[in-house]
Structure 1
Amino acid sequence: MSVAKFVAANGREAMRKVREAMGPDAVVLSNRTIDGGVEIVAMRDTDLGAVNANAQPYVSPTPAASQILETAPAQIGPIAIAAANAVDGQATRTDDGAIGDLRGELASMRSMLERQFAGLSSGAGNVAVGDPLRESLFEWMVNAGFSGQLSRTLISRLPVGTDRPAAMSWIRQEIAKKVPVLSNEDALFDQGGVLALIGPTGVGKTTTTAKLAARYVLRHGADRLALLTTDRFRIGAHEQLRIYGDILGVPVHAVKDAADLRFALSAMKDKHLVIIDTVGMSQRDRSLSDQIAMLAGVQAPMQRVLLLNGAAHGDTLNEVVHAYRHDAAGDAGGIDGCIISKLDEATHLGSVLDVVIRHRLPVFYASTGQRVPEHLELAQASTLVERAFMTPRRGSLFNDADMARRHAVAADAATPRPAERNGADDMLRSLTDSANAVGTCVEELNAAGYGFDVARQLWQQRGAGAVGLRQMGQQARMAMCRDASRACERYVLAVSQNFTQPVQGRRAPQLMQCTLWLADRDGMPLAGTTAPVGRTRQSMSEADADAEAETVRATLSAARTVVNLNASVPSAAVIARWHQLGERWVAGTRKTARVITGGAASKLDAIADTLTFHAIGDTTWRDRDAVHWVGHCAVRIPEGTVRAVGRARDNTAETGTEACLVVSRMADRDTGETLAVEYVLCDAALTDDAAQVARWMQWANAADEQFRTLRHAAEHFAQDGDASDSQGTSLVSLQLGLTTLRLQHTPTATAPAFLSRLAGRAATRANVPVPGSVLNEGMGRLLALLDVLENYPGRAASPALVGDITADVAMQATVGLPQLAVAGE
């Protein structure tokens, strides 16, 4: 009898070896996951016939097959991939060996799903689920407050053969390396200028201001320091800081608005350092953007330091950083560092360290109590990490979701089930329903032409290296050209927005420009690029990103004429450069702006009163039915200042840039009331497309949400990427973000709801648009599930396309084993 064992990195490779050695009719006796891959035991089909001829009938003393199957794992992860036909009465007639093989298949699928969701697949460090050491280390880190994602990532890189004490020491060192800290306090104080403490209410900004002031006075004296407070809401806030100032001999002033702040700072030019205690605001407060804008108006060098509550929940801290750095900040945002407060109250300090690592936020100080200035320590990474793991805990009622699920499964397994319940039928029914949903989602995404097929291929090749990276970029650009030719009439629209991005190894964040390319027909997102701004000496990755952005622009320019959409009128030099490249431009402007028409300078609103308007279609303006009216005329954008133009009364004012003024009016459909008026200046070559220009500018004004979705995709998908391959990760992230944007732009029937369920954030109300961040998370889960399906050991050997996931999933290997087939066949 020829029975052989085959070991390979994945199931597909192992099955290939089986067919090569024993033919296509070989019978698989068992398969299991082992360290380093998959093991399959198989025999020839002819040998099986000989065994069957000599085998004696055997009657199993065990209960029915349905009862045996009930002891198998009842859940296979959050979403099951494979589906099965109901076994009906077939399972009760299956022999004991077939039942064991079925249990092995289901256990193998469960193991692979758990590893994929945990980020511990075979390519991520040789981690096997069920390893007692690694499982205990995972719970040790989660109990300290670190996220499951960071815990799994570190444990996946744990050197093989490490015992528990050495593993714990290695994990502490790795976390300490990832926590950026302020190496020299003198560098913070010697820089001078303005130091603004920002953060939510009650995080300890006033006390920390006093502590910093005391440390500065001890080093440099009180003559070169001043304190400001913007807290006009909290009773006694100003008085509390003034008491500290009197003790230290430091002047304290209160300001109420941006003008007051500029005046106060102007009066304090002789001070080397001014520390501002800002008013505490929730990260969800709409006024937060006003406070950030007030600080952005300061002319002196400024450092914004965010205070993070060490006792807060990790999700809350993550939301705070996002709000102060991105959501409410816009271009005026940015955080130079942070101070961790309330360490003496924290029970899970790992949460704040996890957030600091995730956002690469330098830690300047750590506050350990209320005493001034003793309870403020210069941050040391190793000390913070040691404190996180040494904080005493009596046990938490709020466990990590993975741990809670594991505990619930264990408790459920220990509870006797009613005899009448058929566990196998329930399991197979759940598998069938889940596979139907996955298949429908993928079919919808592929049929809609959202670029999901390209994103899927890029996802699979994300670790291909430099050569593969070039192929990935070329593949993505070819898809862009196809999409531009299909979705655009004559033009492709470019909308740009600047944002700051933390850079490892640099104290100051890098200013980046993100460009979103839209179709002129309906505003469908076609492509996205990011490139650094204003840096003459670029790193290799920044230079690659800049070159990729230029290549994408050239590629799309070859397909359609580029139209640059701007929030304000660009300079004459920029317009000239665009004209030289054959590109067009559109810019928003104010009604009080002056242009030249008829040889004289006039305000735009005065010109609008002389125009003839035409209705171009129905629209909605702030939930009101409206009619969109457009009027336009030729104008000239003058050179020089507005004041000079206002004085111009002769032909000398006829110099400048030829342009077209487009005025949009939104009027109530029923009453005719004017709801809004918008003014746009555009390239003179776009005069015949004035109605289109008006629509384009509305798309550009609504692009903020799309840019947030792209930035979230870059952050979300970069977490699982290779840090050494930033360009490849960026390319994959942008393509996935574009798929999300297209799905938001034109939702399909079921895909948005399914992706939100995959992300664990299903909408509570119907007909509510799914946020882009939720779709990004669901997209990542969907790709992980498809990876499991492709690498499942029992998967049929022929490679399947993404759209064919509804066919031929389960292995058809063991004689007598009920064949598992995906629903929808």
Structure 2
Amino acid sequence: MSVAKFVAANGREAMRQVREAMGPDAVVLSNRTVEGGVEIVAMRDADLGSVSASAQAYVPPAPAMVVAETPAIGDLRGELQSMRALLERQLAGIGNAPTAAGHGVAASDPLRESLFEWMVGAGFSGQLARTLLARLPLGYDRPAAMTWIRKELASKVPVLGDEDHLFAQGGVLALIGPTGVGKTTTTAKLAARFVLRHGADKLALLTTDSFRIGAHEQLRIYGDILGVPVHAVKDAADLRFALAAMKDKHLVIIDTVGMSQRDRSLSEQIAMLAGVPAPVQRVLLLNGASHGDTLNEVVHAYRHDAAPDGGGIDGCIISKLDEATHLGSVLDVVIRHRLPVFYASTGQRVPEHLELASSTALVERAFLTPRRGSVFADADAARRRQAVADEQAAKGGADDVLRSLTDSADALGQCVAELNNAGLGFDLARSLWQQRTAGDTELRAMAQQVREAVCRDVNRACDQYVLALAATLPVSVPGRRTPQPLQHTLWLGDRDGTPLAATITAAGRAGQPLGEADAEAANLRAAMSAARKVVNLIDAMPSAATLARWQQAGERWLAGARKTVRVVSAGAAWKLDALADTLTFHAVGDAVVRERDAVRWLATADVRVPDSPARGKGAPEGGIDACLAVVRLVDRASGELLDTRYLLCDPALAPDAAQVARWAPWSDTAETRLRTLRHAADHFAQDADAGHAASAALAALQLGLSVLRLEHAPTATAPSFLARLAGRTVRAGAAVPGTVLNEGMGRMLALLDVLENYPGRAAAAPAVAEAADVMGALQ
């Protein structure tokens, strides 16, 4: 078998060396950028055939992993899997690296070995990592495996589901734990959260810490700020007396004295809490910056040693997350002891730096915490790394090449399947992309496909209306000295704002540079108008001419307005904010404002927007009749007013004012969405020649629409995969920008073009050379 590596200044030169050494039918296994140029790894076509003939039959992945793909991609994956399996068996005996007997993860499985190191590096114990990786489903590439591991860990971290339930049951809440873990500060944070919800008169604070200088004074200062009484107790008798005196309080929080897990007096403290007549919830504070063995010992001591019946802890709070370098250690202990996590403390500020625990957020934070590399590295881990390095060197890198290529093919197939199955219109967009060199006859058929798809989507995603967002953007046009203004329009469903269609047409009197684009856009608008009422979302009141045109077409409008805009209501002139204070508001739904749960309150009124401002006394004559909708967003928990919006809309929309209030925030992202659409039109149609500009533009718009839909409803892995293809690093959990998705989509289409030509390898060789940067992004 001949697998050879070729390095040259560029992809074309490297491919020339491949063809000279291995013939025109050589198969390219990998292509990446290295210092000094481009590196291509290739093998002879005859060797590939012999490997495929002698390899075990390709077994498709489990049903949950089966994806929709082209036959060419399936054939390619089968051959790569077979080659990888054969080489693994042939090279398994090379090297003397430890296997499962040493640490439970075979060094001959580089994927699991790297995942093991990843988990241990985040602070999780080797035992938990081995247990989890033993259950890792087959067929996953590294990104999919990492996602699976995160979800499995999150599912095993028990958290407090409802803070209101914790506070509602009242009684006594005692914070326990070692010295310096942050009990006093956390007591103040909990007290502040309770006061915000239930008031200061229902809460009292106690401290049993008579050893630490200033402990009582520190808590007393917090109590004075919150208006909550604070008392100090010395022993069990004092505690019982104090609780009896506070029986009218709904909740009493006790800040206990810090004790080492090895302190013999610990059992006395637990006994003191157990001796009170009221039920006590014991909440253990765990230092997120401590070593895992220390944390394990703390939990064991407070739960079992100090309370032999095992009833010593009801839950925990993780403190000092801002200081932790290996947060996985505390999560490992929580999972090991099945200890519910109530809150996570991220700093000293009261009460901002106390968050209700989220298992997903904690696991993500464990893997995202930056680490500079430990000088206290585990010797066993170092030996494993050296053994794996020796084994990989002995294998000569062939296994790495095949694994990388196989994993990339798996990830590509999964991405294509996600895009096809998520209702993003990607299948249609890709079909148009493949026809982008079509002539006029085919172009009309392509446009008909788009109209039919839009009509189906409108019926699926719209209840009564279809919404139109439009903006005029300057676009550089070949042969013109100045940019040409083009109108970009994006159509949304009224149910959840799903992008449904997109058009780009000439604006004003600038001519018709897009050929039949304007006529096709008019046909598309007519098709949507026939299915649903069109509502134009605009930034300010429309002009009389625009309003007349919309009224003639039976279309509606919705405009944002400033609070100082003057209108006429009931014969009197008002500013919008003054008029709003006279209206009656009703709760019409929920919303999220700056990551806070809010209630949407709505008031409406019939108004007239005058043509000119009022002069002197009395209301001005003339103007446009409109419905005023005032939307107030109020924090559900605190009652704080978070935002107020003033909307003016077509009077015909007055019966649907509650729905109109939901649409208003969608226009906030209009500029970003339309610029993403502009970027797609430029990016995907940049190489089109003049004779095929119209078909390329149509395909580019549909690809841009698919990207906007993916932004609106991200799938599990496609956004991150496209970001990788674009050469961008995106933080886990963060949204991938539309321009990055456009670039990744373009590279994926180029890669698919190469792979679909795979059976004709000789013919595909030039395409491989031109797509060197695409293949390099997958390494």
Band of TM-score, shorter chain: 0.3 to 0.5
TM-score (norm: length of structure 2): 0.48
TM-score (normalised: structure 1): 0.45
Q: More relative contact order in 1 or in 2 (CA 8 Å, sep 6+)?
A: 1
